[in-house]
Amino acid sequence: MKKGIIISGFGGQGVMLAGNILCRAGMKEDKFVTFFPSYGAEMRGGTANCQVIISDTHIGAPVVQYPDILLSFNKPSYVKFSPRVKKEGRILVNSSLYKPEENPGPELIGIPANDIARECGSPIVLNMVMIGAFAAGTKILGIGSVKDSVPEVLTEKKKNLWDINIRAVEAGYNYLGK
């Protein structure tokens, strides 16, 4: 198994944090992982994306030209990256912000991430909702390793955010894992 993933959204939506947590979770499951970030020129509000590869075997290069999975946090990200997703792939979109039309290509899964994040207590945890949905919708990583990775990536300095982020991961997982 080797899966290429692109996570994309506006700066400030936690794209890089989501990618780091997926990589950490992959390492917990003894998988090979790569993380390749890309930032727009702006700090907040600009575009940001990262490419993550999770594999059972060694990975030659960190670049994901044609992803198996796209986690799209906003419409510009969907427009930019959805044409590159493999036909048999999956696209998880933040349907709180936009609802793409059905397409004949990859499976399209809408996650009302902003709405679920608000129900968890903060709209800024939409990224955690999306990676919880990723775990449920792809079965590439287990929910336990994803949740266990949150405190490791957020570190002790952000301990006050651990619970809400873990709740958001669970909420995203439960949304698709019903």
Q: For position 70, which CATH number holds?
A: 3.40.920.10
At 161, is the pLDDT very low, low, confident or very high (cuts 50, 70, 90)?
confident
Between CA 54 and CA 152, with CA 37 as vertex, the angle to 5 degrees is 65
Q: What is the mean pLDDT of the chain?
A: 92
For the segment 137-150, what is each residue's pLDDT rounded down to a tens digit?
999 999 999 999 99
- Tell me, what's the pLDDT at 44? 59
What is the sign of the dihedral through the CA atoms of 44, 76, 17 and 20?
A: negative
Query: Whole-angstrom Cα distance, residue 130 to residue 52?
Result: 15
At 125, is the pLDDT very low, low, confident or very high (cuts 50, 70, 90)?
very high
Half-sphere exposure of 168 (CA within 13 A, CB side): 29
Range of the domain at 39: 2-176
Half-sphere exposure of 65 (CA within 13 A, CB side): 1
**Interval 56-80 mean pLDDT:** 94
Q: Is residue 177's pLDDT more than 80?
A: no
Domain count, the chain: 1
- Tell me, what's the pLDDT at 45? 61
Query: Whole-angstrom Cα distance, residue 105 to residue 83?
Result: 9
